[in-house]
Amino acid sequence: MSDRPIELPLELVSLLRASPRLVALTGAGVSQESGLRTFRDAQTGLWAQYKPTELASPEAFQRDPKLVWDWYAWRREAVKGVRPNRGHYALVEIEKRVSHFTLITQNVDNLHRFAGSQNVLELHGNIQRVRCADCYTFTETWDDDSESVPRCKVCDGLLRPDVVWFGESLPRDQLEAAVTAARSCDVFFSIGTSGVVQPAASLAFAARNRGAVVVEINAEPTPLTPKADYVVQGKSGEILPQLVEAVWG
C-alpha cells in the first residue's frame, strides 16, 4: 500500500534547503510504526490495569519495585522485538544532509541510535541502561529471572532502568543541550508527540520565541498545532521519507 502523497508548501521546501540549523523533537508516535505502543495507547495484558504515568514514578518503585522492574523488563523485550521504521531512517538522512542537526527524543527505546542517528539527546533516558537506584553505578549484567529486583554489586541497592520518572529531574547535560539547540535553530520539527509532558513540551515554544519556524508532524492535533507555522498531519514513517525526497532528494 503506497504512502498517502503529502503536499509540502514550496516555501517550506526552500526554507529547509536554506536552513543550516535544524532540530527535531520526537515522541512515542515516531516508534508506533515499528510496532511499539505509544504512551496514549492503552496497555495490554498484565499491564492493562496500570496507567504508564503511574508505573513510571519513584512512588510506584517505592511501593512495588518488582512490579515496576518487571514492566521495564517487558518493555525491554518489546523493544528487542522491533526495528526502526522509515521515520527513524529519514531522520538519519536529514542528519547527513544538514550542517547542524540535533535530534531530541523523549523515547527511551534506543531506536534512533539503532537506526544510525548520531547527535541524539535522550531527555528521558534509555531503557537499555540499568543503574543502581542508590549509588547510581551502571551495570551491563543482571539476572532477570530472580523472584526479587536485582541488586547493585557495589552497595546492594535496588537496580532500576536509567530512565526519568515523573517527578524526577531530567539529565542536566541533555536538557541544557536541548534548550540551547532549540533556542538557536532555524527550523524546529515536533514529530509524533502529544506535547503534554514538561519540560519537553516547552522546547517548541522556546524555539518559536527565538524566531524559529515550527513544523509539526503528528497523526492528530496537539496543543502545539494552533501555534505551529506548518502542520503535516499523518504518520511520520510515511511523511518523513517524502519530506527528505522533496527537500534534499
Task: Point out which residues bind ligand BV8 (CB under 6 A).
Answer: 27-29, 32-33, 38-40, 53, 56, 106, 108, 124, 163-169, 192-194, 196-200, 218-220, 222, 235-237
CA distance 215 to 247: 14
- From 43-51, 139-147, 151-159, 216-224, span contacting Zn ion (CB under 5 A): 151-159
Identify whether the C-beta of residue 197 lies closer than 8 Å to the C-beta of residue 108. Answer: no
CB of 68 or CB of 120, closer to Zn ion: 68
Between 114 and 143, how does the x/- string for binding to Zn ion read (CB under 5 A)?
------------------x-xx-x------
The active-site residue, picked from 88, 100, 112, 124, is: 124
Spacing of C-alpha 158 from chain mean position: 26
User: Total number of residues binding Zn ion (CB under 5 A)?
Assistant: 8
Q: In 3D, which of 184, 186, 161, 164 has the Cα closest to residue 173?
A: 164
Residues counted in the chain: 249
Is 124 designated active site?
yes
Contacts of 146 (CB under 8 A, 6+ apart): none
CB of 4 or CB of 153, closer to ligand BV8: 4
Helices (H), the chain: 10-18, 29-32, 52-55, 58-63, 65-80, 86-97, 111-115, 172-183, 203-209, 236-248
CB-nearest residue to ligand BV8: 29
| Torsion angle (degrees, nearest 10) of CA 200, 223, 92, 238 | 150
Least separation, in Å, of the C-beta of 127 and ligand BV8? 7
Least separation, in Å, of the C-beta of 107 and ligand BV8? 6
Residue 196 lies near Zn ion (rule: CB under 5 A) = no
Least separation, in Å, of the C-beta of 202 and Zn ion? 33
CB of 58 or CB of 157, closer to Zn ion: 157
* Residue 135 binds: one of Zn ion, ligand BV8, none (C-beta under 5 to 8 A by kind): Zn ion
Sign of CA dihedral 227, 25, 49, 57: negative
Radius of gyration from C-alpha coordinates of the chain? 19
DSSP single-letter state for residue 146: S
CB of 21 or CB of 38, closer to ligand BV8: 38
Contacts of 2 (CB under 8 A, 6+ apart): none
* Residue 132 binds: one of Zn ion, ligand BV8, none (C-beta under 5 to 8 A by kind): Zn ion
CB of 56 or CB of 120, closer to ligand BV8: 56
* Residue 154 binds: one of Zn ion, ligand BV8, none (C-beta under 5 to 8 A by kind): Zn ion
Indicate which residues carry an active-site annotation.
Answer: 124
